[in-house]
């Protein structure tokens, strides 16, 4: 298969938008800094048990700018796709989804990472957001497979993946360093049935 199937929008000034009923997803831009640092700061205690250890400057502007530059370059190179989740009711930033570690060649796969504001959990907003990213990954980015890895204690995330059609495929010991500790993970996969 030749990638990409369709030409992906160049991020320089052309904001791609994935529109659902309650959420809109788009790549982050520099002007998101205030909203991003506020929501990530507010959710720090909630999110750190599930994420790689935060850099000490993780909420600072320089860090965010470097992050955006890297994310835009990765997008352009077809190596990763980053999205922010916007609540369509009030235009507020409420979370994020990344398609990381995109492998092309004979693999055509990517790995999902996602988070949402603790206050808004359990309302199906992440399920709706992930469905948009799954469609983007398969229909626009031309991926054949999405991978996801969950801490065995992260029931909420595991149930969400199963609800979206992911299948459990394995168990990886000491797979990702979460908050400073190498942690075992349950592995899930979703295959693009159209490609």
Question: In the complex, which residues of this chain contact ligand COA (CB under 6 A)?
Answer: 47, 50, 114-116, 121-127, 150, 154-157, 159-160, 163
Q: Is the peptide bond before 111 cis (omega within 30 degrees of 0)?
A: no
Give whichever of 11 and 111 is closer to ligand COA, judged by the CB atom.
111
Q: Cβ 40 to ligand COA, closest distance in Å?
A: 12
Token pair of 27 as six digits: 């790549």
Helix axes 61-77, 33-42, angle to 10 degrees: 110
Could you give the C-alpha distances from 90 to 63, 132, 195, in angstroms and in order?
A: 27, 19, 37
Inter-residue contact 149 to 179 (CB < 8 Å): no
Q: Which is nearer to ligand COA, 88 or 163 (CB)?
A: 163
Nearer to ligand COA (CB atom), residue 122 or residue 180: 122
- For the CB of residue 87, give the shortest distance to ligand COA in the complex, in Å: 12
Query: Shortest approach of ligand COA to residue 138 CB, angstroms?
Result: 19
Min separation Cβ 18 and ligand COA, Å: 15
Q: Closest distance between ligand COA and the C-beta of residue 170, in Å? A: 15
Up-side HSE of residue 168: CA atoms within 13 Å toward CB?
Answer: 14
Measuring CA to CA, how many Å separate 22 from each of 34, 85, 143? 22, 10, 25
Which residues, listed in sequence order, are joined to residue 19 by a DSSP beta bridge? 24
124 versus 165: smaller Cβ distance to ligand COA = 124
From CA 99, how far away is CA 167, in angstroms rounded?
18
**Alpha carbon distance 148, 185 (integer Å):** 9
Nearer to ligand COA, 142 or 157 (CB): 157
């Amino acid at each position: 298969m030749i990638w990409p199937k369709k030409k992906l929008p160049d991020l320089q000034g052309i904001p791609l938008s994935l529109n659902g009923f309650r959420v809109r997803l788009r790549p982050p831009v520099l002007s998101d800094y205030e909203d991003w640092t506020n929501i990530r700061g507010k959710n720090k205690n909630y999110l750190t048990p599930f994420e790689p250890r935060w850099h000490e400057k993780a909420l600072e502007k320089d860090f965010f700018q470097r992050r955006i530059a890297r994310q835009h370059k990765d997008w352009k190179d077809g190596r990763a796709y980053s999205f922010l989740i916007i609540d369509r009711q009030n235009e507020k930033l409420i979370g994020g989804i990344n398609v990381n570690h995109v492998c092309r060649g004979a693999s055509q796969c990517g790995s999902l990472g996602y988070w949402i504001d603790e206050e808004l959990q359990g309302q199906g907003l992440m399920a709706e957001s992930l469905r948009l990213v799954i469609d983007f990954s398969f229909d626009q980015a031309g991926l054949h497979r999405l991978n996801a890895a969950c801490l065995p204690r992260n029931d909420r995330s595991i149930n969400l993946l199963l609800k979206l059609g992911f299948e459990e495929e394995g168990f990886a010991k000491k797979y990702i360093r979460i908050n400073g500790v190498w942690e075992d993970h349950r592995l899930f996969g979703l295959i693009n049935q159209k490609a």
